[in-house]
Each structure stands twice: as structure tokens, then as C-alpha cells.
Chains A and B, each alone.
Chain A
Amino acid sequence: MSKYILEAVDLQYSYPDGTNALRNVNLPIHQGEKLAILGSNGAGKSTLFMQMNGIYRPDSGCIKYQGEEISYKNKALIELRKKVGIVFQDPDSQLFSASVWQDISFGPLNLGLSEEKVTERVKQALIDTETTDLQDKPTHLLSYGQKKRVSIAGVLAMEPDVIIFDEPTAGMDPRHSQEFMQLLNSLSDKGKTIILSTHDVDLAYSWSDRLAIMYRGEIIAQGLPGELFSRSELVQHADLTMPWLIETYNELLKKGWILPSTPLPKSKEDLFKIIPIKSGQQTA
């Protein structure tokens, strides 16, 4: 067995209209990791995701699942989609049924599970996404954030090993996006591999184990978040900005408040901890 659960190898893809969407993309994904893909609009993140569960077929190169090149035969595709789930950016193009319950049951039923099993999974997915009280409402009476959570439940109910989220927090209010990040963490604790795309640099930096930066259909860098963000020319080139945590850290370093040996803070709490108390001041 390969050490990568999913891997993009020399992926080339252009849309039928000739737009070069992916250029020579190589991206290994480790089992159980939290990978964030950063890139501005139109960088090719969504296109790459469509490759990862076989919706688009590459012009050249391939996608490997557990070291094996994926096949585009119907049966094999269903197997793949059982393992790799995608939550799309726009819930209105993912929810096909007006009934929350029916929509969530669609995926697991396609896996050929029994009705009892599907009912169980739908219920669990409703609990995990806190949508239990929405189950009798029609999708068109839900708010954007609620629709988003239902569309996430629809993928969770399939219990895939790898879950891909395309711009998951776009359009969510702060409270729900925070809860969503907790949901991601708990999924990750259960051993799921999670890939998400975003252009929120703060979120990508704090949350991810590993980071890939896409720019115009290419992956221009991948590695640990702290390392990538220390290269400011790279961040600028990809039309991104620095996470505020790193900017603050750099400023504190420059003005001598902290030593160069201080580790990069991963969260707000980390940062507050490394800020020293001013001499002569009483501890609060």
C-alpha cells in the first residue's frame, strides 16, 4: 500500500473551450492529514477537486487512489466516490431535492446500503451537522448557511475516507464557520483525510497540517504552513496576503518583543502566550 491515500500525478486538463485549467499538477495527499489548498479565484482549485473523484478526466497524467491509478469504468468510479466525497461550493447546485431528508439519503442509497442502514446514517449526519431540526423543512426555506450544512450532511452520510470541501466557509456567519471548523476537527480526529480550498489565509494557516498554493492552474508551492508563509514573495505572487498571526509575529520580532527562537504561533492563544509581560508590570 502506498503512503499516499490520494495523489495527483502530472495532471493536465483543459476545458472544452480551451481554457488551460490545470498545468502539470503534482499533489500527494497523506492519509489522515488536513490539507488546505490556497489560491485566488480561478486558480483551478475546483477543477482539481473534480478530478479527484473522477468527475473530470485529465487530458494527461493521472489520479492515484492508494497508489493505484483510478479507472473511469462505472463500477470503479462508484467505488472511488464511496471513498472520496466532495462538498460543492454552491449548495444550490448540490441539493437536488426540496426535502432535506431525501437529499441526504441520496448518496448512501447510491452506495447500495439497506434502508435501515441509510436511515441510521442520515440521522447521524443530521446530528453531526446540527441540522436535525431542519429535516422537515423544504430546502428552499433554508438560509444559505443552513443549506450549506445540509449539503455537508449529504456527503458525510456516505462516510467517505477523504472529504473535499470547496470553499466551505464562504457565506457562513462567524459562529457557523467556527462550528464548522470544529466539525472538521472532529472528522479529522476520526481519521478522515480532509482537503479544503479557501482564499482565507488565516483559516488555512491555523487549521491545516499542510498547505498547497495554487496559481493559474499550477501548484506553485506545497509544504508546512509556517514555512510557506515565511516566503513573502511567494504569497504576493499568488495574489494572497499574509495571515495576521504571522504579520504580528514578524512585527513583534522586529521591535524586539520576542526572540527569533520563539516558535511561530498557530493560533491567537499561542500568540498571546508568547507576548512577554512588560518589565515592571504586575501580572494580571
Chain B
Amino acid sequence: MIAIDSYAYNNQLKSVHPSEKSLFAIMTMVICITSPTILTPLVILALMAGGIIVKAGIPARVFIKLLLIPLAFLLISVVTIVVTVSTDPSGLWLYQNLYGYTIGIHYPDLVQAVHLFLKSLGAVSCLYFLALTTPITELITILHKIKVPYIITELMVLIYRFIFVFMDTAITIRRAQSSRLGYVSMKSTYRSISQLFSALIGKMFLKSRDLYDSMSARGYTGEIRVLTKKYPINPKNYVIITVLEIFLILINLLWR
């Protein structure tokens, strides 16, 4: 997660307007999920891989590693869809008898599973494209612009910031504990972890109070208003997005 976050601030698509990137990622994802053919997800996967690796300049191994994360979940769900257990082998494409039961695969199930698998992977690659090229702060700004209630966007701003503050605190505490042999045995590990969390909760209360004070000192009256950086709008990007999306929709329509 931390790696995704730092790439979001350091990639070659950083200066592209966040709305353009979001529009591209979300539209492509919708097309991917609604695709009736396995061709669309494959094209989308290739497209996003190109966008992430070639355009944004993020190392291929990072992207592949990220794709491996949902793979475990996907494989489990695919297996449950594909594999049929019954007593009657008729209609099964591949099967094996075991102790009077038949474990086998229906061909249509296999097609459906592969389709689902690719659709999910394609959709995930769209989200990775967005996450790897656009900082969370910019995404929150977009949510704010499309009139998501400000209580939600404000909470996102604060939560995002404090994930890192508390992670630092937790790392420091953990280091201090392990330097005093806090994690040598199972028993001491449990004790250390519980102490780490209670220390962290205490710190969280203090920090939140300090934050409130310091925000008040800068004139906070209940609404966080910030200025967001202006990005240049690039009409060329909109043309590219439109062409690509029409192309994908056409694949969807023609390869039914």
C-alpha cells in the first residue's frame, strides 16, 4: 500500500489532470465489468499495463506483484465455480471418479469462470492505474467536486494523513520494544503487541486534541476548506479517452 502511495506522487502521469485519469479508469472499468466477451478484459488488461508501465513509467515487476495480490482470491472463487461434485458424470467435460462421487468440470462453467476471472483482473488493473498515477489527495478533491458530502471527504483527508503519522509512531514503539527483546517469544510478543496498541490509542487521543488546537489556531470553524492545485486540462487526452472507450465498447458489441 505504501509503495502504491509513493508511486502515485512519482510517476510520469503525475501532471495529467486527475479528472482525466479518473474518467479513463472508471469508464474502462465499467466497460470491463459489463463486457459479454473475454476479449474486452484482455484488451483492457493490456491497455492498463501499457498505461502503467510505459506511460507512467512504473516498473513492470511492481505492477505484476500488485496483480498477484487479488490472484489468490480470484483463483479460489474460480475453482468453486468450475469444479462440480456430483454422483452423475453425465454432461461433464472432464471428470474423475472418487469413492463413488464424480468431481468434474462443466465446459460452460469453465468459460464463465475464465470470463469472470479476466473481468475481475481487468477491473482491478483499472483501479491500479488510478491508484498508481493519482495521489489520494487529488482523488479526494474530485470526490468533493462531484458533491460527495464534505463530512466524508474531510474524514478521508484526515484519515489518510494520520495513517502515516500513526504508522510512524507504531514503528517507533515497535523498534523500542524489540530493542529490549519484546518479541523474543510468543508470550512476550503478545504482551508487546497489546502494549503497543494501548500506547497507540493514548497517542491518538493526544494527537487528535493537538490537531484540533492547531487547526483552531489557523481559524478552523468546523469546515476544512483547502485550495487545490490547478492542473492544465488537456483536450488531447479527452480525445484519446473517447477513442479508446469507443473502441472498447465496439469490441463489447461486436464479439458477443
A residues in contact (CB < 8 Å) with B? 50, 53, 55, 74, 78, 81-82, 85-86, 88, 90, 92-99, 101-103, 105-107, 109-111, 115, 118-119, 122, 135-141, 154-155, 158
Shortest beta-carbon distance from B44 to chain A in Å: 29
B157 at the interface (CB under 8 A from A): yes
Task: Pick the residue among B158, B218, B229 that contacts A110 (CB under 8 A).
Answer: B218
Interface residues of B in 211-244 (CB under 8 A from A): 211, 213-221, 224-229
> With A88-B210, A90-B210, A93-B210 in contact, do A105 and B226 touch (Cβ < 8 Å)?
yes
Q: Which residues of B contact A111 (CB under 8 A)?
A: 219
B34 at the interface (CB under 8 A from A): no
Q: Which residues of A contact B225 (CB under 8 A)?
A: 106, 109-110
Q: Which residues of B contact A139 (CB under 8 A)?
A: 161, 164
Instruction: Report the bound CA distance from A78 to B161 in whole Å.
Output: 25
B14 at the interface (CB under 8 A from A): yes
> With A106-B225, A110-B225, A141-B6 in contact, do A98 and B157 touch (Cβ < 8 Å)?
yes
Task: Pick the residue among B136, B158, B168, B219 that contacts A96 (CB under 8 A).
Answer: B158
Q: What count of chain B residues pass the 8 Å CB interface test?
A: 32
Q: Which residues of B contact A99 (CB under 8 A)?
A: 135, 137, 226, 228-229
Q: List 12 A-B contacts (CB under 8 A).
A: A74-B221, A81-B219, A88-B210, A96-B157, A96-B215, A97-B157, A106-B215, A106-B224, A107-B218, A110-B221, A110-B225, A138-B135
> With A90-B210, A97-B137, A98-B157 in contact, do A140 and B217 touch (Cβ < 8 Å)?
no
Shortest beta-carbon distance from A200 to chain B in Å: 22
B95 at the interface (CB under 8 A from A): no
Q: Is the CB of A101 within 8 A of B229?
A: yes
> With A50-B213, A99-B137 in contact, do A138 and B224 touch (Cβ < 8 Å)?
no
Q: Is the CB of B219 within 8 A of A102?
A: no
Instruction: Report the bound CA distance from A81 to B220 in whole Å.
Output: 10
Q: Is the CB of A141 within 8 A of B218?
A: no
B residues in contact (CB < 8 Å) with A? 5-6, 9, 14, 135-137, 157-158, 160-161, 164-165, 168, 207, 210-211, 213-221, 224-229
List the 7 shortest-distance A-B pairs measured between CB atoms, nearest first: A110-B219, A140-B164, A105-B227, A93-B210, A102-B226, A107-B218, A99-B137
> Which residue of chain A lies nearest to B208 when distances are taken between CB atoms in the complex?
A93
Give the secondary structure class of B's interface. helix
> Which residue of chain B lies nearest to A112 when distances are taken between CB atoms in the complex?
B219
> Which residue of chain A lies nearest to B163 when distances are taken between CB atoms in the complex?
A140
Q: Is the CB of B161 within 8 A of A95?
A: yes
Task: Pick the residue among B14, B161, B207, B210 that contacts A98 (CB under 8 A).
Answer: B161
Q: Which residues of B contact A50 (CB under 8 A)?
A: 213
Instruction: Report the bound CA distance from A96 to B226 in whole Å.
Output: 11
Instruction: Report the bound CA distance from A135 to B219 in whole Å.
Output: 22
Shortest beta-carbon distance from B173 to chain A in Å: 15
> With A97-B137, A97-B157 in contact, do A102 and B228 touch (Cβ < 8 Å)?
yes
Q: Is the CB of B218 within 8 A of A122?
A: no
Task: Pick the residue among A82, A92, A102, A136 that contacts B165 (CB under 8 A).
Answer: A92
Q: Is the CB of A86 within 8 A of B224?
A: no
Q: Which residues of B contact A53 (CB under 8 A)?
A: 217
Q: Is the CB of A88 within 8 A of B214?
A: yes
Instruction: Report the bound CA distance from A115 to B230 in whole Å.
Output: 11
Instruction: Report the bound CA distance from A271 to B9 in whole Å.
Output: 49
Shortest beta-carbon distance from B102 to chain A in Å: 56
